[in-house]
Each structure stands twice: as C-alpha cells, then as structure tokens.
Amino acid sequence: MPPLNLVDANVDRRSNFAPPDLDLDAANAQLADANATESVEWAAATFGDRLVMSTSFGIQSAVMLHLVTQVVPDIPVIWVDTGYLPAETYRFADRLTERLGLNLKVYQSPLSPARMEALYGRLWESDRVEDLNRYDAMRKVEPMQRALSELGAIAWLAGLRRGQTDRRQSLPRVGVQSGIYKVLPILNWHSKDIYEYLTDRDLPYHPYFDRGYVTVGDWHSSRPLTADDSHERDTRFRGMKQECGLHLPQTPEEAQSLDSSSL
C-alpha cells in the first residue's frame, strides 16, 4: 500500500491545536488498506494530544489497550463504570491497568445506583426498550459525553468490529459522532484475529470467557452464550437490543446524516 499521509510521527502530545477539518471520504480511502497499527499511527499523528480511547474492560479489551498503547503510551483511556459491573471486571481492569501502565480516566454517572433505583426502579428488568435506553443514557452515555468534553477530545479510538452488531457492519474506519471524530482500527478483524493477537502476546481474556461469555457488560444484563443464540449480542440486554448507546448517534439529525452518507 502507498505510505500513509502522516504529519510528524513524533508529534508532541502535550501541545494543543485546532481540530483538523477532515475530508472523511479521503481519510477512509487513505486507510482502506491500512492495518490496525497504521490506523492508530495515523490517528495519533492527525489528532495529537486531543486523541482518546475508550474501553469496557470486556472479554477482548486487552487487544485494543495493548495495540494502542504500543503507539501512544500516554493516551487517556476512558472507562465508564456503571456501578453494576461484575467483581471480576473490576479486578481485570486493575490487572490490565498495572500491566500496561494505562493512563486510565474513570467516569461514572452522578446518580448513584441506589438513588437511581429509588427514583426509577430496576430499569434493566423492564420489558420496554425505552426503559433500557433510559438506563443506558444515565449510566453510560452521559458519563462518556462528559468524559469526551472534559478531556477536550476531538477524536476517539474504539474497538468496534463489523461482526459485532447489525449496525456496525456499515461503519466506516473514520467517522464522526456527536462532533467527535471516531477511528476504528480493528473494524475488519474477525474472532481469529483477536485470538491470535491475544495468544501471540500472552494477553488475557476477561475471566468470564472461561464461563462461556463472548461479551460482558453489567452483571444484570449479560449471560453466557447458548446453542439457541443466533448472534453473540443476543446474550446482552435479554436480546432486546444490540447497542448500549455509547456508539450510536446522539440526535435524530446526526442519525439522518449518517444514514444518508456515502460512507
């Protein structure tokens, strides 16, 4: 492939600069044949110290955490702690943070779990998707949007893959969400790629992998994969929805723009 059009690869991430006005079609064409590491290098060179990444400390989170920090060791790593994660997730997060030397930024809802339940009930038990969306908006989406704002992010690295949900099949390598550029280095990876990356570097899966989980979030909304499941995301939210809201457009106008985009 031709060399990527990078600015100084040794960019000082302590310096601040205005967000670049990217031509998304050109950026995606440029990265069409780039591997994951090259995509991270492009993002680091393009966005400098205004680049962040997110993690859920889920089943395969060690892949993105290792991949990105090999290129940008000090990148802010946003972790939205809902207050309902399994104990194993908290311990897994501590181990990976120490091993990889993560610059971890933990964000939580200003509404405690106890207060939320007192005011709104156990929303995750509802049979209404609207209630599940309300839960996600309070415990996940609001903290993430606050994190991006407080950290001054203009670009966000995320470990989304096309095979994970129906919507993700049509995602571009570089896009925009809520005014933030979104870069997806492992978008085209398959489960085999994940397995090989982890094993080649002796990186751990989340402990729930050994219990039959292929994806894990809050303790009350995740379960192991069964023979009756047609998709791994059937194990989340009782199969009622595939996305938690963190990676969805935040306004109807943004959704309409994305739906009509050539990307």
CA 245 to chain centre: 11
* Residue 105, number of CB atoms within 10 A of its CB: 15
Q: Catalytic residue numbers? A: 244
| HSE (side-chain half, CA atoms, 13 Å) at 122 | 6
What digits encode the pLDDT tens for the residues 177-198? 878 999 999 999 988 999 999 9
The yes-or-no verdict on residue 259 having pLDDT over 50 is: no
Mean pLDDT of 194-207: 94
What's the CATH fold of domain 24-258?
Rossmann fold (3.40.50)
Q: Which residues contact 101 (CB under 8 A, 6 or more apart)?
A: 69, 73
Out of 77-81, 150-154, 163-167, 200-204, least confident range: 163-167
Euclidean distance between CA atoms 17 and 27, whole angstroms: 19
Q: pLDDT grade, residue 229 (50/70/90)?
A: low
| Domains of the chain, residue spans | 24-258
Out of 128-137, 200-209, 233-242, least confident range: 233-242
Which of the two residues, 52 and 221, has the higher pLDDT score? Answer: 52
**pLDDT in the model for residue 233:** 60
Mean pLDDT of 58-78: 96
Q: Which residues contact 90 (CB under 8 A, 6 or more apart)?
A: none
**pLDDT in the model for residue 178:** 78
